[in-house]
Structure 1
Amino acid sequence: MSSNLRINYTIDPDPAALALRAAHHMLELAEEAVEARGRCRIAISGGSTPKATFRILADPAQPFVSRMPWSQIELFFVDERTVPPDHPDSNYRMTKEALLDHVPIRPEQVHRMQGELEPEVAAAEYEFDLRRTFRLEGAESPRFDILTLGMGPDGHCASLFPHTEALHEIGRLVAANHVPQMNTWRITLTWPVINHAREVFFLIAGADKADRAKQVFTGPKDVETLPSQLIWPASGILTLLMDKAAAAELPPTGADGKGHLERAR
């Protein structure tokens, strides 16, 4: 993992513009991955901004349906709620309804976390799936080409919530994480796996994220309280795609709407 982190961020005027930028960003990265390696493995998060992005990717009036290399994509999940796949809270259901039902991607290209199983079983099954798909041995981690994250108002990302056990998990690829503050369990990729991805980017929208974004990306290190600070990609580069409200307390960008921060470990 790089000792220094460059955080590149772009700011769009509203969530709709942010979702469109995210769709273009995913297309560009997917095309690059396919050109370089013949396929693109993407790990996605749930949330309202990804949902809007998925709808744009699936919109026949947009260029993405025809340009995205769907046949060469494998889709994975960053985290999942402990619910069946048809439950309204399921990240899989959201993704299926917003994206998968409308694009030429086959069921075998989609790797679902089985939230209907006991949490520890679901985590173990997904780790087995990752090891088999990526042909991993020993302590190896999967290398996703693209990994998307959101950030909650409490500073969590994936299902790595403040003061939960999964923040300390470094030996497993997938963890069953009990979240006492929500009285629930979640299934989540662990932070070393997230950091091993080639391209990691956050989608952050809304005024309720502004203060937390400032704390996470410019404040002192406190990963127990601000788990998003655990995201420090091995590449040394982290990308933030934000709307104006979420970025209100970050340093202003240039005329091109882009800015950057430098963090030392």
Structure 2
Amino acid sequence: MTMAGSGSFRLVWKKTERSVEIMTIQVFSTVTDVSNAAASMVADQAKTAIARHGSFHLVLSGGTTPRHTLERLAEPPYATGIPWNKVHIFWGDERWVPPDDSRSNQHMARTALLDHVAVPAGQIFPIPYRQSPEEAAEGYESTLRRLFGKQPPRFDLLFLGLGTDGHVASLFPGTDAVMEQRRWVCHTQTQGPAADRITLTFPVINRARTIIFLATGEEKAPKVREILAAAGVPPRLPAQLVHPVNGEIYWLLDQAAASLLTEKI
């Protein structure tokens, strides 16, 4: 399967007798095209979820391409075409910074989208800023357990970015959080400013009905190829541990991020 230009293909894996994973990879000419496609998928998934159970549970991601997607959703036809009063908003991860900090994923989502559409305030569930990142993680897990009960939530749509080191959400290579199986939310650390992070863990991420990876730019190409070429190989990167149970994964890539995908993948 050559991915030199725009295109789409679907791969289906039957993991067990009771579990099926479907992966669709789509390559677009530009970052704008990726963002437009992601916004259209949000609208479609919202319609499906609301018809199924009366609400749409959406998990947001930080990053430049996700921001473009949120800005697109704040414009016609999505700003008025999506029934935002039935949308519930969550976050996959957050930096341990105040919510008005420019590095905050919540701040980004509010300025790009939530300040412009009619999601009820009581249906927006940001990761809290508490006295310590550990308390913030405990607080968010408590919120999820209050809302969803004993079993991890089954979000309708969950966005993930892809780090150049293969991390997703704030699950970084070599950290304990990657292997966490009990907690739904935990504190972890990375290098540089705002090193403390709060993140959903894989037991929650992999319960999502649909996961959308957004990856753009040439710097993402090596990891995109490594991840998508690694079927059947023991995972080395956090992104290789994303396997929704009876769910779908969509990879939305621009041509730069897909530039190393070849017929051998």
What TM-score, normalized by structure 1, do the two folds share? 0.88
One-letter amino acid of the counterpart of residue 83, structure 1: V
Give me the whole-angstrom Cα distance separating, in 2, the residues matched to 1:183 and 1:19. 26
Residue 63 (str. 1) matches residue 74 (str. 2) = no
1:126-175: CA deviation from partner (whole Å, max 9, x where unpaired): 001001111x12xx111101111000111101000111110110001101
Q: Does the 8 A contact of 1:45 with 1:148 survive in 2?
A: yes
Give me the whole-angstrom Cα distance separating, in 2, the residues matched to 1:214 and 1:164. 23
Give me the whole-angstrom Cα distance separating, in 1, the residues matched to 2:82 and 2:245. 26
Task: Quote the residue 2:221 is aligned against.
Answer: 210
Q: Does the 8 A contact of 1:81 with 1:115 survive in 2?
A: no
**Paired positions, count:** 247
Residue 189 (str. 1) matches residue 200 (str. 2) = yes
Decide whether aligned partners of structure 1 residues 109 and 165 sit closer, same or farther in structure 2, where only a CA change above 3 A counts: same
Task: Quote the residue 2:255 is aligned against.
Answer: 244
Residue 52 (str. 1) matches residue 68 (str. 2) = yes
Match of 1:111 among 122, 125, 142: 125
| Alpha-carbon distance, 1:181 to partner | 6.9
Task: Quote the residue 2:179 is aligned against.
Answer: 168
Task: Quote the residue 1:10 is aligned against.
Answer: 26
Give me the whole-angstrom Cα distance separating, in 2, the residues matched to 1:236 and 1:89. 31
Give me the whole-angstrom Cα distance separating, in 1, the residues matched to 2:139 and 2:78. 32
Give me the whole-angstrom Cα distance separating, in 1, the residues matched to 2:238 and 2:262. 22
Q: How does 1:54-203 map to 2 (within 5 A)?
A: 54-59=70-75, 62-134=76-148, 136-137=149-150, 140-180=151-191, 184-203=195-214
Structure 1 ranges of 4+ moved more than 3 A:
1-6, 180-183, 220-223
Give me the whole-angstrom Cα distance separating, in 1, the residues matched to 2:132 and 2:32. 37
Q: Does the 8 A contact of 2:60 with 2:158 survive in 1?
A: yes
**C-alpha RMSD of the superposition:** 1.8
One-letter amino acid of the counterpart of residue 34, structure 1: I
Give me the whole-angstrom Cα distance separating, in 2, the residues matched to 1:180 and 1:151. 16
* Alignment gaps of 5+ in structure 1: 253-260
Q: Does the 8 A contact of 1:78 with 1:158 survive in 2?
A: yes
Matched-pair identity in %: 38
Give me the whole-angstrom Cα distance separating, in 2, the residues matched to 1:21 and 1:31. 16
Q: Does the 8 A contact of 2:60 with 2:89 survive in 1?
A: yes
| Alpha-carbon distance, 1:107 to partner | 1.5
| Alpha-carbon distance, 1:115 to partner | 3.3
* Alignment gaps of 5+ in structure 2: 1-13
Q: Does the 8 A contact of 1:81 with 1:91 survive in 2?
A: yes
| Alpha-carbon distance, 1:238 to partner | 1.6
Task: Quote the residue 1:39 is aligned against.
Answer: 55
Give me the whole-angstrom Cα distance separating, in 2, the residues matched to 1:105 and 1:183. 28
1:237-259: CA deviation from partner (whole Å, max 9, x where unpaired): 3211111111111246xxxxxxx
